[in-house]
Amino acid sequence: MTTRPLIAALLLAGMMSSAYAQPPLSPKEQYSIDSKRAATRYADDKKLCAEESNSGARMQCTRDAKSEYDKSVKAAKAALKAGPAKPAAACNDCAKVLSVNVSDKAGEGSALGVIAGGVAGALLGNQVGSGHGRELATVAGAAGGAYAGNKIEQKAKSSKVWTVAVQYQDGKQASFNFDHDPGLMAGDRVKNANGSIVRN
């Protein structure tokens, strides 16, 4: 019955690990504890093996116990060589996307739109009435055409803006504007890059 040493080893390992889980230890201290733990477990397993009824079972049990001991010592040496685990460095430029909103940005009118609209409006106004009425219609057409030309140009030059709101690990929030779809969604991880953000 070779399962008894293994069960005993697992129970002992669980009790020992919980007893030593409290303070952080140096790699040498941890290696010393792990080595003593492995030796104690091996001695206990050999005692259990001695209780086996026939010599074949005793030999197999002893081999299993030695194999477990060798694995434990090897793992302890590997942990000593690796040294303490390094904590992950804090990323001050890393953030989480809170929201992505799309809005329309009105274009800016220029003198060209005003002039072209004014000329077109004046020509149309000049076609109305006669005498002073025609002059008034021409002036009104020029003014209305200039206004309409400006609005038409603004509409033609309008564009979409993607606003991405983010929250940094320290709790601060910021927003970034894009003139194209950045391909981000709420919950995505991002980081600062050249005055903007990129997927992390």
Same domain for 73 and 98? no
Q: Report how many domains make up the chain.
A: 3
Same domain for 99 and 50? no
Same domain for 115 and 23? no
- 119-143 in b/e form (b: 16+ CB < 10 A) is ebbbebbeeeeeeeeeeebbeebbe
Same domain for 186 and 116? no
Taking the C-alpha atoms of residue 191 and residue 152, their distance in angstroms, rounded to an integer, is 39
Same domain for 165 and 99? yes
For residues 103 and 160, is the Cβ–Cβ distance under 8 A? yes
Two tokens, residue 199? 């997927």
Same domain for 184 and 99? yes
The answer to whether position 88 is within a domain reads no
Question: Judging by beta carbons within 10 Å of its beta carbon (0-12, 13-18, 19+), is residue 4 exposed, middle or buried?
Answer: middle
> Which residues have C-beta within 8 Å of that of residue 78, sequence separation ≥ 6?
none
What confidence score (pLDDT) does residue 92 get? Answer: 83
The residue-averaged pLDDT of 94-114 equals 77
Instruction: Say if residue 97's pLDDT is above 80.
Output: yes
Same domain for 164 and 148? no
The residue-averaged pLDDT of 133-149 equals 60
Instruction: Say if residue 136's pLDDT is above 90.
Output: no
Same domain for 13 and 38? yes
Host domain of residue 151: 108-156
Domain boundary among 82, 117, 139: 82
Same domain for 166 and 145? no
Higher pLDDT, residue 129 or 1: 129
Taking the C-alpha atoms of residue 1 and residue 101, their distance in angstroms, rounded to an integer, is 67
